[in-house]
Structure 1
Amino acid sequence: MNLRDLHEKARRSLDPVHYDYVAGGAGEERVVADNERAFDRYALLPRVLCGGERRDTAADLPGAPGASPVFVAPTAFHRLLHPGGEPATARAAAAEGAVLVTGTASTTPVAEVVAAARSRDREAAVWFQLTAHPRREATRALVRRAEDAGCTALVVTVDSPVFGRHTRDLRNGFTDLPPGHAAENMRDLPGAPPGALTDIPMSPAVSWADVDDLVRRTALPVLLKGILHPADARLAVEHGAAGVLVSNHGGRQSDAVPAALDCLPAVADAVAGRVPVLLDGGVRRGSDVAVALALGARAVGVGRPAVWGLAAEGEAGVRRVLAALRDEYDHTLALCGGRRNSDLTRDMVVRKGGTW
């Protein structure tokens, strides 16, 4: 069973409205499609007679040394897709040695997500995706929860000054979660009544000054997610980011931006090795992982494939996705003559139909 089989199994098992919520994107969904098509525009140019019987594919990531080069990107509302929810995803990621980026919009509180991961692996690394609130006291409360839960890094989403316009959700009238589901990390925040939920914030008022405040107040490494422009990558490093994540939000914010992969080389050049560069968007096979690493990423995230696995088969489905990508990547690395991730270099990636 490949990832497309799991996707189809998930589609059949889900309420069509909930399926559309995950599968859909902004506008006409051109960017959603182009994220995947981007990998089809590149080919790997292997080296020969320089490999080894065994390969080391571990990636040194902030707060997660020796992790898999494939991590679970932040996605919302896992209990909408499977009753096991985020804890099932967390156990699966931990079992496969992958970082889980759990999010502000998790349907399970961050402390319970981390506890589930650590029930499988006491050293499991869980990062917290943070949507910064224009009220800094609310943001600081979310950060304290992530710190207290044992998260090892913060991933701040910076490409969402406003909500994306999702055509499928508008057509389906999907504006609220069903009863019994909520973004639990938004409960009991400062300024709200006890037990009440605060809306997930998206504000164009959030700025580099908020990044400065966050970096100053937490000991956790802070990564910025949603970087596409190389100038912003340089600014991220200057403002103390411990890493940048090249991402267009899976095509869910703007339908007029490039594919994430096409932005990766320029961002990697701008960062110039000062902090790790990560990527998410469109990764569907192990060779995609290899292309991204050769173009400058240290690791890649998968969002929709992981939740399709969850929807189709629960924890076992997420494990199946992560194991398939890991094994396919290891196989591709061997075919490229590599022993470790750093053996994949930019000169080993060419446009389809071309050579040097």
Structure 2
Amino acid sequence: MKRIANLQDHEDAARAVLDDGAWAYFSGGAADEITLRRNPKAWQQWSLAPRVLQNLRGGHTHCQLLGQTWPFPLLVAPMALQCWAHPDGEAAMALAAASQQCGMVLSHQTSTDLHTVAQLALKDPERGPLWFQLYAHGDRGALLDLIQQVETAGYEALVLTVDAPVSGARDRERRHAHSRPAHIRAVHAQAAASGAGLCQGLADSAPTWDDVAWLQSHTRLPILLKGVTHPLDAKQAASLGLGGLIVSNHGGRMLDTMPATADLLPRVADEVQGQMALLVDGGIRRGTDIFKALALGADAVLVGRPCIYGLAHAGAQGVAHVLRLLRDEFEIALALSGCATSQAITRQHLWASTP
């Protein structure tokens, strides 16, 4: 077996151990997967513009999110049913993230109880942030009960996914329908309502801006909206005093032919202009991609599939190695670009194309 040296090696190792159904679920995207392919390529289109002879003494990777200082500007993105990738699932993911001083966003569709994950993550004093992702469909009473559990368990923010009123058309998953093992299930998910209307009535329960305001009035936690890609939506979110936004196209899993997040991020950043925390996900595969995201206006990034790939073939140790690679590569990018800290990164450190 070849020595694993980068995230592509982790992906190759995961493909060797996952069955076709699990591989389709975790690696696939919507329709022709155009957006899925665009995401990593778009980061590559930005060229780095390093400065030389800069003072790098006292450098660090600290970042500010929601009024707190954290060790590193990277969180594991919310991903469902991680026990399908590895029996240790979200528990292993939480331990690995904490060990590498990275944050984690636990999915509403977690296959491990939220209390178990919180207990594992929060006990590490050097950890990153621990947030919980919500789908605000269905019964409000059940949602309030879940939010109370989230608050009691110690999660520090709610991440409301807003780009998934219905599921995307995923061809690869269709080819492997009903392949998920019966014991793998989302332990906190509600049954979806069905009936007349768009997508058999599923769209009728999709959240609106009114639901965001309702959620704000029923939780003490800061709220971030995940899936904001249009500047007008960013402007409306800023007017509500929310905690932050996550620029995301759902990893190319929802609406195909959307632009890559690397192309969308600068427009949202220009609209928000520091009024709230701004994060981005989608196609980040190198530490230089993290550097570019921060240069384009993000405060931190989220990484999804590479962490699942590390988990699939090597459990918590695999995830930790994925995150360590990204951390090391980011620190190298900082130093070689003439930046002592993340806060020193600006758009002046990027060329839109090779000059």
**TM-score, normalised relative to structure 2:** 0.93
* Whole-Å separation in 1 of the counterparts to 2:42 and 2:14: 24
CA deviation profile, 1:226-258 (whole Å, cap 9, x unmatched): 010011111111123100000000000000211
The root-mean-square deviation of aligned C-alpha atoms, in Å, is 1.7
- The 8 Å contact of residues 134 and 206 in structure 1, kept in 2 or not, is answered as no
- The 8 Å contact of residues 129 and 157 in structure 1, kept in 2 or not, is answered as yes
Q: Secondary structure in 2 aligned to 1:217?
A: coil
* Whole-Å separation in 2 of the counterparts to 1:64 and 1:76: 27
In the alignment, what sits opposite 1:233?
234
Answering whether residue 194 of structure 2 is matched by residue 198 of structure 1, we say no
In the alignment, what sits opposite 1:214?
215
Match of residue 173, structure 2, among 160, 169, 174: 169
Which residue identity is paired with 1:338? Answer: C
CA deviation profile, 1:155-213 (whole Å, cap 9, x unmatched): 00000011111100111224x74221110112xxxxxxxxxx63499645410011001
* Whole-Å separation in 1 of the counterparts to 2:262 and 2:133: 21
Q: Secondary structure in 2 aligned to 1:300?
A: strand
In the alignment, what sits opposite 2:59?
55
* Whole-Å separation in 2 of the counterparts to 1:237 and 1:18: 38
In the alignment, what sits opposite 2:333?
332
In the alignment, what sits opposite 2:268?
267
Count residues with an aligned counterpart.
343
Shift of 1:68: 1.4
* Whole-Å separation in 2 of the counterparts to 1:296 and 1:337: 18
In the alignment, what sits opposite 1:30?
34
CA deviation profile, 1:251-297 (whole Å, cap 9, x unmatched): 00000211011000010010011111100001000000000000000
* Whole-Å separation in 2 of the counterparts to 1:51 and 1:207: 48
CA deviation profile, 1:26-49 (whole Å, cap 9, x unmatched): 000000000001011111101111
Equivalences for residues 288-327 of structure 1 within 5 A: 288-327=289-328
Which residue identity is paired with 2:324? Answer: A
* Whole-Å separation in 1 of the counterparts to 2:182 and 2:28: 22
* Whole-Å separation in 1 of the counterparts to 2:310 and 2:247: 23
CA deviation profile, 1:48-87 (whole Å, cap 9, x unmatched): 1113144211111127531411110011111000011100
* Whole-Å separation in 2 of the counterparts to 1:275 and 1:200: 34
Answering whether residue 245 of structure 2 is matched by residue 244 of structure 1, we say yes
* Whole-Å separation in 1 of the counterparts to 2:180 and 2:108: 15
- The 8 Å contact of residues 284 and 290 in structure 2, kept in 1 or not, is answered as yes
- The 8 Å contact of residues 138 and 192 in structure 2, kept in 1 or not, is answered as no
Which residue identity is paired with 2:54? Answer: C
* Whole-Å separation in 2 of the counterparts to 1:123 and 1:329: 18
Match of residue 46, structure 1, among 45, 50, 59: 50
- Structure 1 unpaired stretches of 5+: 187-196
- Structure 2 unpaired stretches of 5+: 195-201
Answering whether residue 181 of structure 2 is matched by residue 178 of structure 1, we say yes
Shift of 1:348: 1.6
Shift of 1:324: 0.7
Q: Secondary structure in 1 aligned to 2:214?
A: helix
Shift of 1:123: 6.0
Which residue identity is paired with 1:223? Answer: L
Which residue identity is paired with 2:10? Answer: L
Match of residue 100, structure 1, among 99, 104, 116: 104
Shift of 1:134: 3.6
In the alignment, what sits opposite 1:91?
95
Shift of 1:143: 1.2
Greater alpha carbon shift after TM alignment, 135-144 vs 26-35:
135-144
Q: 1:63 to 1:180 in 2, by over 3 A?
A: farther
Answering whether residue 228 of structure 2 is matched by residue 224 of structure 1, we say no
Q: Secondary structure in 2 aligned to 1:224?
A: strand
* Whole-Å separation in 2 of the counterparts to 1:199 and 1:84: 27
Match of residue 69, structure 1, among 73, 81, 103: 73
Q: 1:88 to 1:199 in 2, by over 3 A?
A: farther
Q: 1:326 to 1:173 in 2, by over 3 A?
A: same
Greater alpha carbon shift after TM alignment, 95-104 vs 128-137:
128-137
CA deviation profile, 1:97-155 (whole Å, cap 9, x unmatched): 11100011100111111112134448653100001124322221221121111100100
* Whole-Å separation in 1 of the counterparts to 2:323 and 2:68: 17
* Whole-Å separation in 2 of the counterparts to 1:277 and 1:226: 12
Q: Secondary structure in 1 aligned to 2:226?
A: strand
* Whole-Å separation in 1 of the counterparts to 2:113 and 2:119: 10
* Whole-Å separation in 2 of the counterparts to 1:203 and 1:148: 31
Sequence identity percentage: 41
Q: Secondary structure in 1 aligned to 2:163?
A: coil
Q: Secondary structure in 2 aligned to 1:60?
A: strand
* Whole-Å separation in 2 of the counterparts to 1:318 and 1:62: 25
